[in-house]
Amino acid sequence: MLVACFSVLSLSLSHCRYALGMEDNRIKDEAITASSQWYETTGPQYGRFNSEEGDGAWCPKGQLEPSDTQYLQVDLGRLTFLTVVGTQGRYARNSGNEYARAYRLNYSRDGVLWKSWRNRLGNAVIEGNKNAYQSVINDIHPPIITRYIRVIPVTKLSTTVCMRVELYGCLWDEGLISYSAPEGQLMQQPGHPIANFSDSTYDGVNERRRLSGGLGQLTDGVIGLDNFLQARQYHVWRGYDYLGWRNDSLGTQGHVEMEFVFDRQRNFTSMKVHSNNMFSQGVKIFSSVSCWFKPRLIAAWEPEPVTFMTVLDDRNPSARYVTVPLNRRTAKSLRCRFYFADVWMMFSEVSFQSGNTHKHTHTFISQQKIYLLILFSSEPPDDGNTPILIGCLVTIILLLIIIIFLILWCQCVCKVLEKVKTQTADETEGCPANSDPHYERVFLLDPQYQNPAVLRNKLPELSQSAEASACGGGYAEPDVTQCTPHQCFHSNAPHYAETDIVRLQGVTGSNMYAVPALTVDSLTRKDISAAEFPRQQLIFREKLGEGQFGEVHLCEAEGLPEFLGEGSPLPDRDCLSVLVAVKQLRADATNQARNDFLKEIKIMSRLNDPNIIRLLCVCVTSDPLCMVTEYMENGDLNMFLSQREIESTLTHANNIPSVSLSDLLHMSVQIASGMKYLASLNFVHRDLATRNCLLDRRLTIKIADFGMSRNLYSSDYYRIQGRAVLPIRWMAWESILLGKFTTASDVWAFGVTLWEIFTLCKEQPYSLLSDEQVIENTGEFFRNQGRQIFLYAPPLCPPSLFELMMRCWRRDIPDRPTFEGLYQALRPHVNQ
């Protein structure tokens, strides 16, 4: 399994590795030029990878001397993110023996100004071929953003050189062609430097302490680690990944001004700035940013800026992407002022989302391609074997084509079958037919549709047609609502989902479990099976978090073990006092909040499972109302994982906190086990995510839902008209579109939770999509026309496990696994 994992890892480390078309002629002959050529038959157009045309390669004129600069130039036609270069010598069916032992790269975005490439350590020379037949593939670190590229062979001795070349990368659809910024600074203690936050790969000019006209570390695709003193590369200095500034070094202005220039006019939806937040060292994300727009290069800045205030975060020191909405303003160039929130501000990446840019297509096929090529290039073809080798290759390719054809055909047939099935189901069960074309255009993007009630009233088509498809499926769970579907969608009375969504925040900002037919009036002391604890024996230690109507405190509970007596779930029964978490309702809480709080107590007091947080006791005879639960020393799973790396010799050597793959699997099983228990009671959690899984001292996971997570993870929730907050990135499509929360939608969230675990919580789900795009994507899940975007397979994740995740995200509820099934499927992995 590990081997499988690491091969997957090595394949998907960098997604952008398409062959750009030297070999398959997508790059036309006219686009390939050279400084010189030996004969007609060794002209630049013969410098194509794996091609034996002409005399089998491009060769510059005469012997190449060490002082010569000869080059093969390729015009890629558009700005390209170049990540890999492959080279071969002149083989010419075993008659050639010329190759380049080393080469350099020059590149130009405009065809006028040429820059020479250097790797992260400052070396320009790349090792090339060792013989005429093997191909050599070199990763280009840092990658190059360019349109024109020159491959310049270099030699130590006078020799003839011939080359064939392929370039790999992808379209640079962000279109950023340069940024300017104040130069990065040095962090020092009196006498000695701690870290250097310069932009070491910047390819523009540095004049009067300002960088301009180039691109560098902010666009190299490498995001910095939580600790800015560590770097992702070896042999580089501290602070390498970040470009950083100190607030007092830029005069008294308190901000950093950056300018961004693009290839053409674009409509910007957002900007993402990856920023460090190690507040213990005086580093924080920016407190606010203002951006001005310029429609053309020669024009005045439009007077009205877009200003965005961030939510500062003093709890989670993780580096993160801060998304700045740019309100679809049109510009060719942007000027942004980032305001300091602390002494230091550090960025490692900046990216822009504009118009309709599409990414992530065909990725896997071209990765395969590189892979095959490496496999087959390691054997020198001698003449006797060449036909056999070619035969093998052809067979393999034919087999692949057949397999691909079979898969496509199968998908096609399955779709047709499925359609037939749904239609029959619709008719037999008397549901309205799913025929209304209007739902095609339904998006929740329009602000007036962001309120589910409005959406439902205005667009009964959507509800009906979605209903129709759900009808065939049949929900397994008892519905929380008691009204019939038609009442739900057509009467003016609010639908259950809406009232529930508004109250999703629950008491201290946390969710409620949905329980069928629980009336608040019937709640009395006798419904609460937890014992009343003397309030004066709770000794306040510190505040753990707060929500809208309450707070969570860390307290010492004197005499609690004795109080609970036999069967106490506490680990240390002999202690006099133990640490507990106390969730407390504020005195000014509304009646609604009060009832919700009692309801939550009632539900929690009935839950008894090793993987669900335990309610120990309560204080409800007097105000403020309190519930006392176990205290989980290791905090929540999200923070726990995001501060760790996967175990390796490197983490051992450097004492970096780490987890192993089997730890991750063990965590997954525990969550599945807790959810299995909830499902057996027909409880719907509604907000399963790593932020709601807590870890105790022994790393046992307990599922909880504390309000304290809300402030910390506010970016995980989506606000509907300032009222409800919804964890949309974890929610099933039917929960978002129809307000339908069931165990099956918990299963969906479990899949996302698994995904978080195997990305070590380094990234928010669908981090490239804005909230609106996530909701748009939900519509695609509903329509099911193959346009929905799924979360990608985390590199660490065994393929079988990713398959399990994908099953959690099936459109039709009966196709999703149950928690029992998930638990059974996951458990065997742990014992391996």
**Pairing status of strand 626-630 against strand 577-585:** antiparallel
Rounded to a whole number of angstroms, the minimum distance from the CB of residue 483 to ligand NAG is 41
Looking at the Cβ atoms of 179 and 730, the one nearer to ligand NAG is 179
Residue 248 touching ligand NAG (CB under 6 A): yes
How far, in Å, CA of 727 to CA of 750, rounded? 13
Return the residue of 174, 241, 342, 498 that touches ligand NAG, per CB under 6 A.
342
DSSP state of 445: T
Tell me which stretch binds ligand NAG (CB under 6 A): 196-204, 224-232, 316-324, 511-519: 196-204
| Biggest CA-to-CA distance, the chain | 98
Rounded to a whole number of angstroms, the minimum distance from the CB of residue 89 to ligand NAG is 21
How far, in Å, CA of 419 to CA of 812, rounded? 12
Return the residue of 160, 227, 265, 784 that touches ligand NAG, per CB under 6 A.
265
Return the residue of 12, 33, 69, 97 that touches ligand NAG, per CB under 6 A.
69
In 297-429, where does DSSP find H-type helix?
363-377, 386-429
Q: Which residues pair with 195 in a beta bridge?
A: 187
Per-residue interface string for the shown chain with ligand NAG, residues 608-637, x marking contact by CB under 6 A: ------------------------------
Contact call for residues 17 and 84 (beta carbons, < 8 A): yes
Looking at the Cβ atoms of 357 and 577, the one nearer to ligand NAG is 357
Return the residue of 37, 88, 180, 196 that touches ligand NAG, per CB under 6 A.
196
Residues 743-802 contacting ligand NAG, CB under 6 A: none
Looking at the Cβ atoms of 287 and 457, the one nearer to ligand NAG is 287
Q: CA angle, corner 134, sides to 129 and 137, nearest 5?
A: 65
Return the residue of 254, 305, 624, 795 that touches ligand NAG, per CB under 6 A.
254
Residue 252 touching ligand NAG (CB under 6 A): yes
Distance spanning both ends of the chain, measured CA to CA? 9
Contact call for residues 107 and 146 (beta carbons, < 8 A): yes
- With both helix axes pointing from N to C terminus, report the angle between 386-429 and 460-473 in degrees, rounded to the nearest 10: 100
Return the residue of 267, 287, 568, 634 that touches ligand NAG, per CB under 6 A.
267
**Pairing status of strand 136-154 against strand 72-88:** antiparallel
Residues 636, 687, 705, 716: which is the catalytic one? 687
Residue 80 touching ligand NAG (CB under 6 A): no
Helices (H) and strands (E) in the chain, counts: 18, 30
Contact call for residues 183 and 211 (beta carbons, < 8 A): yes
Q: How far is CA 698 from CA 564, 633, 667, 711, in A?
A: 22, 9, 12, 26
Return the residue of 212, 230, 330, 577 that touches ligand NAG, per CB under 6 A.
330
Rounded to a whole number of angstroms, the minimum distance from the CB of residue 49 to ligand NAG is 21
**Pairing status of strand 718-720 against strand 701-703:** unpaired
Residue 446 touching ligand NAG (CB under 6 A): no
Helix or strand or coil: residue 371? helix
Rounded to a whole number of angstroms, the minimum distance from the CB of residue 453 to ligand NAG is 28
Looking at the Cβ atoms of 340 and 717, the one nearer to ligand NAG is 340
Tell me which stretch binds ligand NAG (CB under 6 A): 109-117, 464-472, 513-521, 736-744: 109-117
- With both helix axes pointing from N to C terminus, report the angle between 819-830 and 661-680 in degrees, rounded to the nearest 10: 150
Tell me which stretch binds ligand NAG (CB under 6 A): 136-144, 195-203, 417-425, 680-688: 195-203
Residue 116 touching ligand NAG (CB under 6 A): yes
Tell me which stretch binds ligand NAG (CB under 6 A): 112-120, 419-427, 655-663, 675-683: 112-120
How far, in Å, CA of 425 to CA of 632, rounded? 48
Tell me which stretch binds ligand NAG (CB under 6 A): 259-267, 523-531, 641-649, 795-803: 259-267
Per-residue interface string for the shown chain with ligand NAG, residues 141-160, x marking contact by CB under 6 A: ---------x-x--------
Per-residue interface string for the shown chain with ligand NAG, residues 497-536, x marking contact by CB under 6 A: ----------------------------------------
Tokens in use for 317? 């020191």
Return the residue of 9, 11, 186, 502 that touches ligand NAG, per CB under 6 A.
186
**Is residue 687 annotated as part of the catalytic site, yes or no?**
yes
Return the residue of 343, 453, 518, 523 that touches ligand NAG, per CB under 6 A.
343
Residue 88 touching ligand NAG (CB under 6 A): no
Helix or strand or coil: residue 249? helix
Find the radius of gyration of the CA atoms of the chain. Answer: 30
Helix or strand or coil: residue 37? coil
Query: Residues 6 or more apart from 342 whose CB is under 8 A from it?
Result: 247, 279, 282, 283, 284
Contact call for residues 606 and 613 (beta carbons, < 8 A): no
Number of residues interacting with ligand NAG: please give it, by CB under 6 A: 24
Rounded to a whole number of angstroms, the minimum distance from the CB of residue 452 to ligand NAG is 26
Residue 700 touching ligand NAG (CB under 6 A): no
Residue 115 touching ligand NAG (CB under 6 A): yes
Contact call for residues 115 and 159 (beta carbons, < 8 A): no
Residue carrying structure tokens 């007091």: 605
Residue 114 touching ligand NAG (CB under 6 A): yes
In the complex, which residue's CB is closest to ligand NAG? 200
Return the residue of 46, 58, 71, 179 that touches ligand NAG, per CB under 6 A.
71
Full DSSP string of 83-137: EEEEEE-B-TTTT--B--SEEEEEEESSSSS-EE---TTS---EE--SSSS--EE
State whether the Cα torsion 135-140-143-148 is positive or negative: negative
Residues that bind ligand NAG in the complex, under the rule CB under 6 A: 69, 71, 106, 114-116, 150, 152, 186, 196, 198, 200, 247-248, 252, 254, 265-267, 328, 330, 342-343, 355
Catalytically active residues, by annotation: 687
